Amino acid sequence: MRKLFSLVLFSTLSLSSAHTAVTSITPGPKTPVTAPRNVLISFSEPIELRFSTFRVMAVPAGKTLEDAAHVALALKADASELVNTALKAQGMAARLTLPLKPGLKAGTYVIAWKMLSEDGHPVTGQSVFHVK
């Protein structure tokens, strides 16, 4: 019985690690940057862009990163609070360039995403960058 339980647990963990992941984001969270023109996101495997949502916005005062990411994903693509421009790319992509509005002010910005993994599971996440 223990062997069967171990096998089931290992199989479950193996499947859960098969979800698509964001492997890198530029700009990153550690070094403040001057206002970037875009955000570059790389994935562990190509994603279907039509089933994916990416948003960038300034983190409002008093909000956690997670709260700001939730707010950003709930906004419509053309919301004035967003600092990314509408994404025109379609199809499959292992890398994505997300254009930003010019002249971002100093502050902390959240990058939030919701995408459909190749195995059909939704994957959400967020990152942050700082403009000096």
44-60 pLDDT per residue, tens: 999 989 899 999 999 99
Q: Is residue 119 part of a domain?
A: yes
The pLDDT of 3-28, averaged and rounded, is 61
Q: Is residue 108 part of a domain?
A: yes
Q: Is residue 11 part of a domain?
A: no
Spatial separation of the C-alpha atoms in residues 101 and 50, rounded to whole Å: 22
Q: Is residue 7 part of a domain?
A: no
The pLDDT of 63-80, averaged and rounded, is 96
Q: Is residue 2 part of a domain?
A: no
Tell which wins on pLDDT, 41 or 12: 41
Count the Cβ atoms, other than its own, within 10 Å of residue 103. 8
Q: Is residue 10 part of a domain?
A: no
Q: Is residue 98 part of a domain?
A: yes
Tell which wins on pLDDT, 10 or 122: 122
Instruction: Identify the CATH number of the domain in which residue 39 sits.
Output: 2.60.40.1220
Instruction: Please state the domain count of the chain.
Output: 1
List the domain range (segments joined by +) for residue 69. 19-131
Nearest to 34 by CA among 106, 113, 124, 93: 106
Encode pLDDT of 80-130 as tens digits.
999 999 888 788 899 999 999 999 999 999 999 999 877 778 899 999 999
Nearest to 41 by CA among 68, 23, 65: 23
State residue 87's pLDDT score. Answer: 84
Nearest to 104 by CA among 79, 81, 124: 81
Q: Is residue 64 part of a domain?
A: yes
